Amino acid sequence: MSAGSTDRDQETHLMNSQNYERRRRKSVFAPLSLAFAVMTPLAVTGAAQAQEISGANEAMPTRWSTLLDAAVARRAADADAVALRGSADARRALSARRFAGPPEADASARQDQIGSGTGYFEVEGGISAALWRRGEREALRGEADALAARAGAELDVARLELAGELRTAWWELAGAVADVRVGLEQVEFAQTLVANTKRLEAAGEQARLDLLQAEAALAMSEQDLAQAMGRERQARAQMTGLVGFVPAQLTAETVGAAQIDDHPLVRVALAEADQLARQARFARLKAEPAWRVGLDLRSERDGRGLDTRTSTGLKLSRALGRDPSAGAEAASLEAEATAARSKAAAVRFSLETLQEQAIANLTAARASLKAQEARRAISIEALALTERGWREGELPFLELLRARAAASEASLAAAQARVAVEAAISSFNQAQGLLPQDQTS
């Protein structure tokens, strides 16, 4: 055999060995790229991923209205509204009475028989009641209606505030669950990478340093997963504290619209001003003199019992002036009503500012989502190119790990951005004063 033939055989053997090494790397790490390509879309499935909370509570009711009712019951948030409704009912009952106040009875006795057996002994008794002033009963009914309207607005405010807490807690939980799911996929990817690197290192086809780097990446993924699971536990505890359980699924919200005067905070301020104004009108009427009507019965007899007379009579009485204390109360209530109207205007301005901020936040969240999804797509393509370069021996193993870390971070950021958009929609609806609605089929 000639020397040239021997050299050609060695060269052929070397080329076959290199091709085998490339095929080996490709066959070993092909499942990794496939796993990551499958993992990444799962990490950013949109609102569905942020809404589907798996766990032991899947049988629990998950309607927004059910959650609000549970939160109201746990907080006794309707206590003030119930008290106001009770006051309104009491005023309606009072306005339905025949007289403006309780009846009064009086009795007196007189006799002129002192020192003698002659003369008369007189007994007199009567009952009277206050009559309604002109417009007084209608004013009291108007005050009752205003109190009832204020009670409804107060309850809407309480429910809206609880809805804000529920929205915040839900999207914190959804974000934590999204982080956990992405973290689980990253750990599984890193575990597969370590296992394959160990096989290559044992076969002498990959350096020990590559294995150490893969194990370090696995440790970082496990640490991130542990932190995400801790946030999920905290979010679940917060939700349980609000409603008593963790809902399994809630419907994503859509952007709503409402007039500023329909906001519960504006309505409660206007209702308070109206109630105070009506209360002031009632107090102003109470300051006016009122008539009292009564019936009298008089009986008199002489000392010898020979003469007895009985008589009845109608009695009318009226104060000679206005009640200054009621007038002062009316003036105070009118001042409070004016202040309440000013407060309503201030509430409008603050809500307009909050709504503008909510619009800006939603716009920014949508722009961020678009950017993060573009980043995710670029990182996936970069990972595929890096893996190809590593398989062909053009790039070191460390570059593959870096590309994998960048793709993982992009996947997590995209998942968080999707949840942030849904949370921004909820915040926008909250600023509009809209409660989360259960979608009906």
- At 242-296, the pLDDT tens digits run 888 888 777 778 888 888 889 999 999 999 999 999 999 998 888 888 888 889 8
CB 214 within 8 A of CB 401: yes
Distance CA(22)–CA(27), nearest Å, equals 8
Q: Flag the least confident range among 31-45, 225-239, 340-354, 406-420.
A: 31-45
130-158 burial: b if 16+ Cβ within 10 Å, else e: bbbbeebbebbbbbbbbbbbbbbbbbbbb
Residues 63-110 have pLDDT tens digits of: 788 888 888 888 887 788 888 889 899 989 988 888 888 888 888 888
3-state secondary structure of 118: coil
Residues 3-30 have pLDDT tens digits of: 444 444 444 443 444 443 444 444 334 4
pLDDT at residue 140, rounded to an integer: 92
The H or E element that residue 110 is part of is strand 104-111
Kindly state the percentage of the chain with pLDDT values over 70: 82
Residues 400-424 have pLDDT tens digits of: 888 888 888 898 899 899 999 999 9
Distance CA(82)–CA(152), nearest Å, equals 9
One-letter amino acid of 21: E
Distance CA(431)–CA(427), nearest Å, equals 6
Residues 185-202 have pLDDT tens digits of: 889 888 888 888 888 778
User: pLDDT tier at 55 (50, 70, 90 boundaries)?
Assistant: very low
| Residue 103 to residues 158, 314, 440, Cα–Cα distance (Å) | 41, 15, 57
Query: What mean pLDDT do residues 49-68 have?
Result: 55
Task: Give me the domains of the chain, ranges plus CATH numbers.
Answer: 20-97+146-266+340-432 (1.20.1600.10)
The dihedral built from the CA positions of residue 168, 263, 351 and 46, taken in this order, carries a sign that is: positive
| The model's pTM | 0.69
The residue to which tokens 């004016």 are assigned: 338
pLDDT at residue 114, rounded to an integer: 64
Say which DSSP state 258 is in: -
State the angle between helix axes of 208-243 and 64-75 in degrees (0 to 180), rounded to the nearest 10.
60
| Residue 98 to residues 19, 101, 102, 129, Cα–Cα distance (Å) | 107, 9, 10, 10
The string of DSSP letters for 354-421 reads HHHHHHHHHHHHHHHHHHHHHHHHHHHHHHHHHHHHHHTTSS-HHHHHHHHHHHHHHHHHHHHHHHHH
